Structure 1
Amino acid sequence: MMIQADPQFEALLTYLKDARGFDFTGYKRSSLMRRVGRRMTQVDIEDYGEYQDYLELHPDEFTALFNTILINVTGFFRDADSWEFLRNEVVRPLLLTKAADSPVRVWSAGCASGEEAYTLAIMLAEVLGPDEFRQRVKIYATDVDEEGLAQARQASYTEKDVSALPPELVERYFEVTGGRYVFRKDLRRSVIFGRNDLIQDAPISRIDLLVCRNTLMYFNAETQARILSRFHFALGEGGVLFLGKAEMLLSHTSLFAPIDLKRRVFRKVPRFLQTNGAMLVDVPHVPVRAEVGPIDQLRNEAFQASPVAQIVVTADGLVALANRQAEALFGVTSRDIGRPFRDLDVSYRPLELRRFIEQTQVERRMTRAGDVEYMRGPGDSVHLEVQLHPLVDADGGLLGTALVFHDVTGARRLQEDLEHANRQLETAYEELQSTNEELETTNEELQSTVEELETTNEELQSTNEELETMNEELQSTNDELQSINDQLRSSTNELDEANLFLEAVLTSLRAGVTVLSRDLVVQVWNRRAEDLWGLRKEEAIGEHFLNLDIGLPVEQLRPAIRKVLNGEPQPQETQLPAVNRRGRQIEVRVVCTPLVSSAAEVIGAILVMESDHFNGG
């Protein structure tokens, strides 16, 4: 069923195209109106005209609307079975047909936040190995969403984003930084991101593998046909197109033949062109040198006489033209015409120009590298500004790139001289201002010095009085300290007497006595305990009671000790067989009582050990 066009909705689409450069007129109206309506509901607007007014007043709303329309649903190795088929049945055979050192060019159209582009990088690195991947592979990843491209360029993902990847791939291709997973920088350089509108912008050319998954389904049939025609132009001979599950291409068999229809993998069909009744196959164009006429000679001389150095590189990366200034500056001669640009020194010195060329070709706009220093010889340097212009034909196809080198050495030196003069003038003004301020400050300091000398005299008198007062206070403090020292000495003597008395009491007891802390560490071990078990006081105090190696089975006393420590008020009595220090068997009666503090808290246990010789022992 055809959806009747809504004039207000069509006006809204025209406004989006004119205001922000997003052309949604080729999208399917059913899904497009549904997504726009969803965003209008979120801002509580029902009328398309009213929503257009809202966009004019709230520029931030464009981002929210575009994110709603474009969806940007993606992931690493989405539909893993299709990617497995692509790697084993398509990519490996495709690489075998290419020369060992030939470049591999891949286009990820509609790359969103970059997962699809980095999936391609992982797959190709696994097939080729990282070293060969870095030398041969270029992955051009494009989208119309600048916000998504900015995220993709960062190559940073959450743990959830990479959860679908096998752990070994995560370990090989990602580095954990700040809790996020960042794609390897050495491989990231082979992935080039740029904005490209599939409807309006020219396609990238000479592509071996073109991946555009679940993007065509948003466009109507007419727009799909136009985009597929561009894809056909973009792919090289034998190139492969990889689409999403919802895209069939059943009506475009003249452009693409299915390799595996289930997994949506197609191969480019060579296009036959009919001219005067003859059938011609679309073959690579081979330039033919024609006789040079007056106009051509004039153009050539004008190019050669240009006051700035210029080099023209073909879309295939070959040197097409170089003028006299380029020869004088970089040594590029007529013998270099037809050579790969990457083989020339100027391709990487004074700066790496190949990535700028690739950026220019992808984005189809002029790029600039400003203020680059180039050393022509010892002590001879020039400053250059390099401009790169894409050269396209009438149909939007890429022909090559023009490199223009402007010598800005004079302007740079004039700017440096001007900056130097400004700095000197500012310095002189600051020094003059500083001198004036110093003179004023000196006058104030002299006046202040006189006042300070008078004040110092008064302060010295005051200090003398304070010192006398402090001397008296120190003498008083010394007397107090002497009194405290006498009291401490008296207390120490009393404590020593008390300890001697306690020691005499414990020594006089006929029973062995030990006092334990709450954690069963021995605190007291009397003389009778030494005689009974052969363990000196110095060996017992500070040890855990249950760890003592004596003839008494101390482990059997644990229950009685625990009861006392847990607050049992009644003494716990136990009769145990034992072996005394002489190796004789004896019977020991052990009485365990609590050790209670002045605050009525149990702080330990007292064990009294009495023995009689075992009968027959």
Structure 2
Amino acid sequence: MMGENREVEIDEGLESLLGFLRDARGFDFTGYKRSSLGRRIRKRMADVSADTYDDYRDLLETSSDEFGALFNTILINVTSFFRDPEAWTFLQHEVLPELLSQVAPDREIRVWSAGCSSGEEAYSLAMMFAETLGLEETLQRVKIYATDVDEEALRDARTGLYAAKALEPLPNDLRERYFDQNGTQYSFRPDLRRRVIFGRHDITRDAPISRLDLLVCRNTLMYFNVEAQTQIVDRFHFALRESGHLFLGKAEMLLNDSDRFEVMSMRQRVFRRRPGDSGLPYSPAPVKLRPSSGGEVHSIARNRQLRDLILDASPAPSLAVDIDGTVVMINNNARTQFALTANDIGRPFQDLEISYRPVELRSLIEQSTHERRTLRVNGAERRVGEETQYFDILIQPLLAANGMPAATHITFTDVTVATQLKSEVKRVREDLETAYEELQSTNEELETTNEELQSSIEELETTNEELQSTNEELETTNEELQAGNEELETMNEEMRVRSEELDQTRAFLEGVLTSIAAGVVVLDNDTRVKSWNRGAAELWGLRPDEVTDEPFFSLDFGLPAEKVRTMVHDCLADGRRTGPVALPAVNRIGRSIRCTVSCSPFDGYNGGVVLLMEEVRDEAAS
């Protein structure tokens, strides 16, 4: 009964902690599987010596850095270029030809990599389309949205930089065509990089990207419970066009959704969206126009001109992008600040450097438009030569009269001075804290000067803390393997240990048999030889490899084997020891001897008997 109460307390503590994470940092893990989630959180708690969930929550409230460590433990990022090559080969040779045949030559191809981690999957998709369509057509038609809930992984993905080890799965020709060496790392080619839009997105909460031709979500669904998986699949169904393709991981499949998805390859986890209603969450209202008089037209034109002048004179740099991704407004300060010109109005926003530097704005525009809410990016860093600037960026969707998104307004607020001042204040504060700590340390040393024993204890404690700190720095968190492989690894380890134990036992028994001077022969239930020790080989002149698995009574050696048949069969029948029996025999050098033979039951695997054969020596001769 006490065990059941303890389990309830643990569950309640976990749910309370998950609610705190959702309210404090906006990470909603309530849809994740409790077994995996609880195991990872408890692992992190053990690393920081937190005994209960309440203790760990206290640590999170006092240490902002601990949030990052916890999220890195929960959000396991296991990925690589063209992971599971067989599945990618099927995607390129079977899925892409069908997809391209269904898309008009002038229509954009939209792809979503959900749960992209550090970007390898999104860049693999870009390379695959470039190899199939050709680079030029890919740059014009293909748009890849890559999203993840882990901001740290997204920062790595946006750089497009990878170590040489990460590129080992790639063939040499792909590596040379799509990567340039940059010091010790390799960078993805910039023109194709601009076709990949990275952004933070929670597939359990945020609105899905729509009108997709291909949706890739590999080994992500397995971390969620059944209810959350159902909601995610509903969003995926809404996001895909009719006959759009869904590409899942090896650990996932859609077995109970045949009404909406048909199987293209269950082995490779590729599904095709069936035709049918996409379940739109809203329907656009018709726009009503009313006639205007000439005076009203003149007034509207004048007001529009004044509005444009006011926007152009706005002290904050700003620009606007319409729903098709075309730049429709750039004010004077934006042109000055970001080296833009009036000629950039009317160009695709993705062609401008400001679209991805200092921050990836295209994905934020998509998110703001879909969610119909204003987004803010604080302290985005921009380097201009030796100078560093910081901006707060506001991405605001503009809605038409019918409530539908019409454009997006982006405003940049220069917070360089404030950021530098904060940094200086932080540095001064750290210096003061360091000085205070040094003063406090000096005071403690003065207070303990005359207490030799206490001083020794404090020195040992300090040394222990330093060793513990060094040990914590050296420890790294091993990435948790996919849930489906955990039990297999445990079983493999147990089998390896048992194999080692068996090898040791076998070596021990072989050593024992080898060290016995008398002849020891083990027969199975069919009287075939299973063991023939060194004593038997020296006595009769037959090697173990010559007699193993051979019928004992058909062997040709100096012992009259037929005379021991009865005692062997009696021992097999009743399981009792028989003998010893003295028999005349001829040893390996042809000399006549007398040999005693004993037969004992063998209790090992599948039964059998053990024959002990020993030459009887004359005491006087010896």
TM-score, normalised relative to structure 2? 0.51
SS for the counterpart of 2:105 is coil
Alpha-carbon offset, residue 318 of structure 1: 8.2
Alpha-carbon offset, residue 109 of structure 1: 0.9
Letter in 2 for 1:82: A
Contact 1:204-1:361 at 8 Å conserved across structures = no
Tell me which of 364, 373, 376 is aligned to 1:360.
364
Alpha-carbon offset, residue 272 of structure 1: 3.6
Contact 2:113-2:217 at 8 Å conserved across structures = yes
Q: Measured at CA, do residues 344 and 56 of structure 1 come closer, stay the same or move farther in structure 2, by a change above 3 Å?
A: closer
Alpha-carbon offset, residue 269 of structure 1: 2.9
> Cα RMSD (Å) of the superposition?
4.3
Letter in 2 for 1:390: P
Alpha-carbon offset, residue 352 of structure 1: 6.5
Tell me the distance in 1 between the aligned counterparts of 2:281 and 2:16. Answer: 43
Contact 2:118-2:156 at 8 Å conserved across structures = yes
Tell me which of 384, 396, 420 is aligned to 1:389.
396
- The equivalent residue for 2:122 is 117
Q: Measured at CA, do residues 237 and 343 of structure 1 come closer, stay the same or move farther in structure 2, by a change above 3 Å?
A: farther
- The equivalent residue for 2:272 is 267
Tell me the distance in 1 between the aligned counterparts of 2:50 and 2:264. Answer: 47
Q: Deviations over 1:568-597 (max 9, x none)?
A: xxxxxxxxxxxxxxxxxxxxxxxxxxxxxx
Tell me the distance in 2 between the aligned counterparts of 1:398 and 1:112. Answer: 32
- The equivalent residue for 2:208 is 203
Tell me which of 12, 23, 33 is aligned to 2:38.
33
SS for the counterpart of 1:161 is helix
Contact 2:194-2:350 at 8 Å conserved across structures = no
Tell me which of 60, 63, 69 is aligned to 2:68.
63
Alpha-carbon offset, residue 83 of structure 1: 0.8
- The equivalent residue for 1:155 is 160
- The equivalent residue for 1:142 is 147
Q: Measured at CA, do residues 391 and 94 of structure 1 come closer, stay the same or move farther in structure 2, by a change above 3 Å?
A: farther
Query: Does 1:345 find its partner at 2:376?
Result: no
Query: Does 1:128 find its partner at 2:133?
Result: yes
Alpha-carbon offset, residue 115 of structure 1: 0.7
User: Number of matched residues?
Assistant: 366
Tell me which of 98, 115, 139 is aligned to 2:103.
98
- The equivalent residue for 2:79 is 74
Tell me the distance in 2 between the aligned counterparts of 1:283 and 1:349. Answer: 28
Letter in 1 for 2:241: G
SS for the counterpart of 2:32 is coil
Alpha-carbon offset, residue 282 of structure 1: 6.9
- The equivalent residue for 1:401 is 407
Contact 1:16-1:23 at 8 Å conserved across structures = yes
Query: Does 1:256 find its partner at 2:261?
Result: yes
- The equivalent residue for 1:224 is 229
Q: Measured at CA, do residues 142 and 282 of structure 1 come closer, stay the same or move farther in structure 2, by a change above 3 Å?
A: closer
Show the 5 A alignment for 1:226-245. Answer: 226-245=231-250
Q: Measured at CA, do residues 224 and 349 of structure 1 come closer, stay the same or move farther in structure 2, by a change above 3 Å?
A: closer
SS for the counterpart of 2:36 is helix
Q: Deviations over 1:452-476 (max 9, x none)?
A: xxxxxxxxxxxxxxxxxxxxxxxxx
Contact 1:312-1:402 at 8 Å conserved across structures = yes
Alpha-carbon offset, residue 162 of structure 1: 1.1
- Structure 2: tracts of 5 or more residues without a match: 313-317, 336-342, 369-373, 381-391, 415-622
- The equivalent residue for 2:510 is none
Alpha-carbon offset, residue 157 of structure 1: 1.3
Contact 2:321-2:349 at 8 Å conserved across structures = no
Letter in 2 for 1:198: I
Instruction: From the CA coordinates, give the structure whose radius of gyration is larger.
Output: 1
Alpha-carbon offset, residue 257 of structure 1: 2.3
Q: Measured at CA, do residues 193 and 318 of structure 1 come closer, stay the same or move farther in structure 2, by a change above 3 Å?
A: closer
Alpha-carbon offset, residue 9 of structure 1: 0.7
Q: Measured at CA, do residues 96 and 65 of structure 1 come closer, stay the same or move farther in structure 2, by a change above 3 Å?
A: same
Alpha-carbon offset, residue 260 of structure 1: 1.3
Percent of aligned pairs with the same amino acid: 48
Tell me the distance in 1 between the aligned counterparts of 2:117 and 2:225. Answer: 20
- The equivalent residue for 1:442 is none
Tell me the distance in 1 between the aligned counterparts of 2:410 and 2:200. Answer: 24
Contact 1:108-1:140 at 8 Å conserved across structures = yes
Contact 1:205-1:398 at 8 Å conserved across structures = no
Letter in 1 for 2:365: Q
Tell me the distance in 2 between the aligned counterparts of 1:349 and 1:192. Answer: 10
- Structure 1: tracts of 5 or more residues without a match: 274-280, 331-341, 371-384, 412-617
Alpha-carbon offset, residue 283 of structure 1: 12
Contact 1:271-1:282 at 8 Å conserved across structures = no
Tell me the distance in 1 between the aligned counterparts of 2:177 and 2:21. Answer: 43
Q: Measured at CA, do residues 25 and 358 of structure 1 come closer, stay the same or move farther in structure 2, by a change above 3 Å?
A: same
